[in-house]
Structure 1
């Protein structure tokens, strides 16, 4: 498949033009025209690029790509080495950030809900493009039981901050994969029992304890493995491409 044709297919599926983002979505570094082998992964780190080279990939498709707003513009140091490796090996780099978080079928939030068996009810911000979602468990469970479920599904023990002075059961849940910890107060305002994000801030602990909500920090990387993996599987199933997901471990 032609690299620009692949970009069109991805853009049609993810509709990046509908959301304001912090980085360009689509083809970020152009490589060879014909794509047969694609490697997918969370972040275009040097380790993932090196693995793509080893696997003779023609394209790398990631959630966290390059050229973020506010980052230094010169292509030097770590950034220079990464881009030189891609260009030297003629590898295309495709990156999709927020469009891959919010996609209702293949997005990070949708995949996390599926894995944790949460019935999605809507966006916490009140519109379909919300980067934070809310939903309901089939049966109310304790905070300890929900933490165990997260651990089992994501293969990572979450940090669980419980509300003060209450043995509160969990039925309604809000979540935002990655760095979505500051949606916790919106989750409180909407009366949810629990909130999940990837990252936690120092202030998040006190919000959870004092405002009566269970909070789970499940890891930025761990909560965002599954959107790009699902997108790659969709490309393989729908368009017959050779796609391989590579998980570069990250404890954050």
Structure 2
């Protein structure tokens, strides 16, 4: 049975508009990063364009891989050697395109990482904060989640990993702010926006002191764990829009 396909460049144009790529300053190119075959009928999505993900895409006979963490980050070594050479060689040998969407995918109001994490955790978004309004702000609508200990346990159940809590477990949850991934640097902006608790993926040494000194609780829930949902939703959306085949591959990552 034949499958639907979409032209590679038409897909790139569609996603540039849908994710409003040109409106956000980023640390990497968003969109088509490695050019493969012209027609795309099967895509594989994942959080990071690791060798393991590329090998899975080859097994699925994918025409394109779509990720949140792609290649060519600002400040990285530009030489095509080592693991970078191996990754690019796999894509080029198998004529597979690579699409990467970083901050635009975090921000998208319905299929973005923050939006999808909110759905998974039962968070209610009432506003935004921070540069490019990347941070989300609101509350939680989950029965029985009243204290930080309750919220920590709820997050652990939903994400399948125990988050690190900085703060008093008995503290009432109150106003919740969140931004997925490595957004621990936005804690001060979340505090200024009125949050009493902030959820993100990673945590840094200064984050601990800021949370302790301000009394705003911090939950480090895992970079990978908080960013599995947006790219999966994007792949499902494309499958519905264009009738192409989508496989999400979750390469385990403890960070």
The normalised TM-score by structure 1 is 0.95
Q: What residue in structure 2 maps to residue 42 of structure 1?
A: 47
Tell whether 2:120 aligns with 1:115. Answer: yes
Corresponding residue to 1:178 among 178, 181, 185: 181
Deviations 1:156-214 (A, max 9, x none): 11001114xx8320021011100001111222223311001100001211211221111
Q: 2: CA distance between counterparts of 1:70 and 1:32?
A: 29
Q: What residue in structure 2 maps to residue 2 of structure 1?
A: 7
Paired residues of 2:149 and 2:170 also in contact (CA < 8 A):
no
Tell whether 2:151 aligns with 1:157. Answer: no
Q: 1: CA distance between counterparts of 2:157 and 2:18?
A: 30
Q: 2: CA distance between counterparts of 1:189 and 1:242?
A: 44
Q: What residue in structure 2 maps to residue 32 of structure 1?
A: 37
Tell whether 2:109 aligns with 1:104. Answer: yes
Q: 1: CA distance between counterparts of 2:227 and 2:49?
A: 13
Q: 2: CA distance between counterparts of 1:8 and 1:213?
A: 41
Q: 2: CA distance between counterparts of 1:131 and 1:160?
A: 22
Deviations 1:220-244 (A, max 9, x none): 0000000000000101112111001
Q: 1: CA distance between counterparts of 2:230 and 2:79?
A: 30
Alpha-carbon shift at residue 148 of structure 1 (Å): 1.1
Q: 2: CA distance between counterparts of 1:146 and 1:188?
A: 18
Q: 2: CA distance between counterparts of 1:188 and 1:15?
A: 28
Q: 2: CA distance between counterparts of 1:206 and 1:167?
A: 19
Corresponding residue to 2:17 among 12, 21, 25: 12
Q: What residue in structure 2 maps to residue 213 of structure 1?
A: 216
Secondary structure of the equivalent of 1:170?
Answer: coil
The normalised TM-score by structure 2 is 0.94
Secondary structure of the equivalent of 1:249?
Answer: coil
Secondary structure of the equivalent of 2:67?
Answer: strand
Deviations 1:50-99 (A, max 9, x none): 11111111000000001111111111111011001100000000000000
Tell whether 2:202 aligns with 1:199. Answer: yes
Q: 2: CA distance between counterparts of 1:188 and 1:4?
A: 42
Q: 2: CA distance between counterparts of 1:171 and 1:52?
A: 43
Q: What residue in structure 1 maps to residue 228 of structure 2?
A: 225
**What stretches of structure 1 of length at least 5 have no aligned partner?**
none
Q: 2: CA distance between counterparts of 1:118 and 1:132?
A: 13
Q: What residue in structure 2 maps to residue 190 of structure 1?
A: 193
Secondary structure of the equivalent of 1:215?
Answer: strand
Secondary structure of the equivalent of 1:72?
Answer: coil
**What stretches of structure 2 of length at least 5 have no aligned partner?**
1-5
